[in-house]
Amino acid sequence: MPVDPSLAGLLLAIEAGTPMSELSPADARSAFRALTVGGRAPGTLAPVASVTDDEVAGGAGALRARVYRPEGAGPVPTVVLLHGGGWVVGDLDTHAAMARSICAGTRSVVVAVDYRLGPEARFPAAAEDAIAAVRDIRSRLGDYGGSDVLAVAGDSAGGNLAAVAAQHVPGIAAQLLIYPATDVLGDYASRKENGTGYFLDDATMVWFVGNYVDADTDLSDPRLSPLRGDLTGQPPAVVVTAEFDPLRDEGIAYADALAAAGVPVRQTTYPGLIHGFFDMGPWSPACQAAADDTVAQFAELLAQA
């Protein structure tokens, strides 16, 4: 099917701006905040009981975190959320809407983690932060959701980091991977089919990787390309992708590899949608429906944990 017509205006606005690949990392971060935080319509954030700042352990010191608590009494699951942004952009504010949606829709405590970004902190810094943060939060579940259910979630590069953390930290009950980057080395049809014109493009992906990894980095390292890791015994997963996303096929490949390893997995590719659809509900009813469905699937998975 064609791209959701409701996204036409947003795509035109994005195309009219300076491509992220032509910006400095600092300017790219500002542009991404302007799009995600500045463009957020008032009253669209899902209500939660409370939002508090926190600190969690990282790979090289404490990391900023933000804790979202749902309405009602506990104990409830705890979900560690790792934001997207190509390991270079994104922060706690850019992903507040996603954190709130997961918190309210799954009735879980969501701990959003502000890991180190490239190029200031190159690979494997973000991966080490994700692993250390999840381990720390696992050790203190009584401070968060209070139940013994711990899950990880993330979108794009955050989905990559969530998958990496799941491979390195035992005891995770579920994972939510939203259009995840899973295989930097891969050659996928969706990268060619959707490489331009759909928000995330080839040039930007190259720019992200170039600002995160060094020239001598082994791109097959599972901490960078989790599809190359051992998926035996991984936690049950919800993996969602978009039809017009260059990352579509590697997300599907990861879900297929999980299933081949005997892991229960739910995989959905939403027709007509693009990378980043989870936060595009204010512009597109179809994006909102897909985001709601994604959260509902994850809620069911957590309920079974």
CA dist 40 and 28 (Å) reads: 18
User: Could you tell me which residues come within 8 angstroms of residue 216 by beta carbon, excluding any fewer than 6 positions away?
Assistant: none
The answer to whether the beta carbons of residues 20 and 28 sit under 8 Å apart is yes
Residue type present at position 158 = G
Query: Is there a catalytic annotation at residue 83?
Result: no
Query: Is there a catalytic annotation at residue 202?
Result: no
User: 47 exposed, middle or buried (CB, 10 Å; 0-12, 13-18, 19+)?
Assistant: exposed
The answer to whether the beta carbons of residues 205 and 143 sit under 8 Å apart is no
**DSSP letter for each residue of 258-289:** HHHTT--EEEEEEEEEETTGGG-TTT-HHHHH
Query: Is there a catalytic annotation at residue 275?
Result: yes
Catalytic entry in 108, 147, 156, 284: 156
CA dist 99 and 81 (Å) reads: 7
Catalytic entry in 136, 147, 275, 279: 275
Catalytic entry in 183, 245, 249, 279: 245
Tell me which residues are annotated as active site.
156, 245, 275
